[in-house]
Structure 1
Amino acid sequence: MTTFAQAVLSGTAQGAIYALLALGFVIIYKATHVISFAQPALMVIGGLFSYHFSAVMGWPFWPSLFVAILLGAGLGMLIERLALRQMVGKSVFTMAVITIGVDVVLRVLANRYIGADSRVMRYPGGGERYEFLGLAISHRQLTILAVTLITVVSLALFFRYAKAGLAMRATALSQETALAQGVRVGAIFALAWAIAGGLAAIAGTFIATGSGGSEQDTWIIALKALPAIIIGGLDSLQGAVIGGLAVGIVEQLTAVYQSTYLPFLGTNFSLVAPYALMLVVLLIRPYGLFGTREVERV
C-alpha cells in the first residue's frame, strides 16, 4: 500500500507539470479554436530562459523564473502577432500546421543553444526530502505542486473576475458576438498566447531542474499534455488540470507495477500508458471527461 501511495504522490507531482502545459493548450484552443503544436518549443525555450539567467548570469532561482515567465509570455505574443494574426479566417488545419512550423523553427534554435550536453538548472532546495506516513516527497516536487496550485487558482480568479478574463470567456463562446460587444478579439488572441507561453515557461523551468535537465529531446515531455487535454476535454480548464494529473499518476503507476503484473508488454510501457488511457476515455466519452458535447443539425 505504501508503494502505491508513493507512486500516486510522485505521479501527482509529475502530472502537475503536464497540467500546466495542458492549460496552455486549452487556453489557446478556447480563444482561437486552434490546437497549438508550438507548446513543446515554448516549454523548452522557457526552461532555457530560466537556465540562462540562473546558471549563466548567476541570478537566484525565483527571479530567473519570473523573468522567464515574462519572456515566455512575450514570445507567445510575438508568435501570435507574426505567424498567426495574418492567418485569421483561414482553416483550422492551416493554422495548426503553422504552429507545427513555428515549433520546429524554435526547437532548432533551442537545440543550437543546448548543444550536445544537457542544461541542468540548479534548484535551490537541492535534494532535500520530507517524509511523512512512510511517504517521501522532495522539496522540488512540493514546490511544483504549490506553484501549480497557485497558478490554477490565479487563472480561475482571472477568468471569473478580471475584465480581460471575462472578455476571453466571451471570445471563447463566440468570436462574432464578442466583436459585436466591443471586445478586441485580436488582443484576446495575443493574451491567450501570452498566458500559454508563461505557463510553458513555468513547466520548462521545473523540467530543467530535474536530473535530466533540458536536452535536445526534452520537447517530447510536452506531448504528454496532448492525452491530458483529450482526457479532460479540449475546451475545459478543469479538465486540463485533472487530465494532466491523471496522466502523471497513470504513468507512474505503470512504471512501478507493469513489469510485475504485465511483463509481456515489454519495457518502458509507461511511456505509452497515457495514450492507452486516452483511448479508453475516448471510447466512453468522445468529448473527454469535461469537454462540451457539440450537437450539429444536418
Structure 2
Amino acid sequence: MTGFLDNILNGLALGSVYALVALGFVIIFKASGVINFAHGSLLLLGGYLTAVLHDDLGFAGALAVAVLATAAVAGLMDRFLLQVGEQDAQAAHVQTIVTIGVDIVLLTDLSRRIGGDLLSLGDPWGDSVTGLGPITVADSRLAAIVVSTVVIGAVFALFRYTNWGLALRASAEDLEAAALMGVRLVRMRTLAWCLAGGLAALAAVFLAAFPAPGLERTTGQIALKAFPAAILGGMASPPGALAGSMLIGLTEALVAGYQSELHVLGEGFGDVAPYAVMVLVLLVRPNGLFGAKGAARV
C-alpha cells in the first residue's frame, strides 16, 4: 500500500509539471493553430539559462531571467519567423513545419553547449525529502505540485478574467470574426507564445530537480511526453490539458513503480506508456477527453 501511495504522489507531481508544458502547447494552438514542435527546445533553453546564471544571480534571480528570456525568444520566434504573409489554415500548417526547423537549430546549439555534462539548476530543495505518514517524498516533488497549482490557477484566471483571455477564446472560435470585432491578433498571438515559453522554462526546473540527476541535453525531449496530454485533452482545451497531464503522469509513475510486474510488456514500456494511453483514449474519444465535435454541413 505504501508503494502505491508513493507512486500516486509521484504521478501527481509529474502530471502537474507536464501540465505546465501541455498548457503551452494548447495556448499556442488556440492562438495560432500551430503545433509548436520547438517547445522542448524552449524548455531546454530555460533550464540551461537557469543553470548557468544561478551562481551569479541566485536561484530565484536566475529563474526569473530564464523565464523572461525564454518567453522573449518564443515571442520573437513567432513574430519574425512565423507571422510572415497571410495568416490562414494553410499558413498554420507551414508554420508548424517551420517550428521543426527552429527546434533543430536550438537543440543543436544547446546540445553543443551542454555536451555530456549534468547541470545543476541550484534549486533550494536539493535532495531533501519529507515524510508524509507512511511515505517519503522528495521536497522537489512537493514544490512541483504547489508551484504548478498556483501557476496553473493564475493561467486559468488569465483566460477567464482578462481582455487577453477573452480575445484568445474569441480568436480560437472564429479568427476572422475576432479581427472584425477589434481583436489585435498579432499582439494576442505574440503574448500567447511568450506565456507558453515562460511556462516551459518553469517546467524545466522541476524536470531537472531531484530525483533527476540534473539538466542534460536530452531533458527537452521530456516535453514530448506532455504532447500526448495535450492531445488527450482535445488540443484546444486548457482543462483537457490539465486532465490529460494528470492521466499521463499517473500512468508513467505507476508503470515505473510496477515495472517488475509488467515485464511481459518489455523493459522500455514505461517510455511508450503515455503514447499507448493516448491511442487507447483516442480510439474511444477521437476528439479527446474535452474536445468538441466539429460541425459538419450536409
Pairwise same-fold verdict (TM > 0.5)? yes
Deviations 1:76-115 (A, max 9, x none): 1110012101053344321111011111111111112212
Shift of residue 124, structure 1, vs aligned partner = 0.9
Distance of 1:218 and 1:63 partners within structure 2 = 22
Give the AA of the match of 1:268: G
Is residue 47–residue 205 contact of structure 1 (8 Å, CA) maintained in 2?
yes
Within 5 Å, give how 1:62-211 maps onto structure 2: 62-87=60-85, 88-89=87-88, 90-210=90-210, 211=212
SS of aligned partner of 1:200: helix
Residue correspondences, number:
295
SS of aligned partner of 2:136: strand
Gaps of 5+ in 1: none
Shift of residue 273, structure 1, vs aligned partner = 0.7
In the superposition, the TM-score normalised over structure 2's length comes to 0.95
Query: Are 2:7 and 1:7 equivalent residues in the alignment?
Result: yes
Give the AA of the match of 1:230: I
Shift of residue 73, structure 1, vs aligned partner = 0.9
Shift of residue 201, structure 1, vs aligned partner = 0.5
Is residue 45–residue 201 contact of structure 1 (8 Å, CA) maintained in 2?
yes
Gaps of 5+ in 2: none
Shift of residue 149, structure 1, vs aligned partner = 0.5
Is residue 228–residue 244 contact of structure 1 (8 Å, CA) maintained in 2?
yes
Is residue 11–residue 252 contact of structure 2 (8 Å, CA) maintained in 1?
yes
Distance of 1:22 and 1:228 partners within structure 2 = 6
More off after superposition, 125-134 vs 10-19: 125-134
Is residue 29–residue 235 contact of structure 2 (8 Å, CA) maintained in 1?
yes
Shift of residue 207, structure 1, vs aligned partner = 2.1
Give the AA of the match of 1:212: P
Give the AA of the match of 1:150: V
Deviations 1:107-133 (A, max 9, x none): 111112212212122221222211122
SS of aligned partner of 1:258: coil
In the superposition, the TM-score normalised over structure 1's length comes to 0.95
Shift of residue 68, structure 1, vs aligned partner = 1.2
Shift of residue 263, structure 1, vs aligned partner = 1.9
Shift of residue 152, structure 1, vs aligned partner = 0.9
Is residue 16–residue 244 contact of structure 1 (8 Å, CA) maintained in 2?
yes
Give the AA of the match of 1:78: L
Distance of 1:115 and 1:3 partners within structure 2 = 36
Shift of residue 249, structure 1, vs aligned partner = 0.8
**2:25 corresponding residue in structure 1:** 25
RMSD between superposed Cα atoms in Å: 1.4
**1:257 corresponding residue in structure 2:** 258
More off after superposition, 2-11 vs 122-131: 122-131
Fraction of identical pairs, as percent: 41
Is residue 121–residue 208 contact of structure 2 (8 Å, CA) maintained in 1?
yes
**2:53 corresponding residue in structure 1:** 53
SS of aligned partner of 1:182: coil
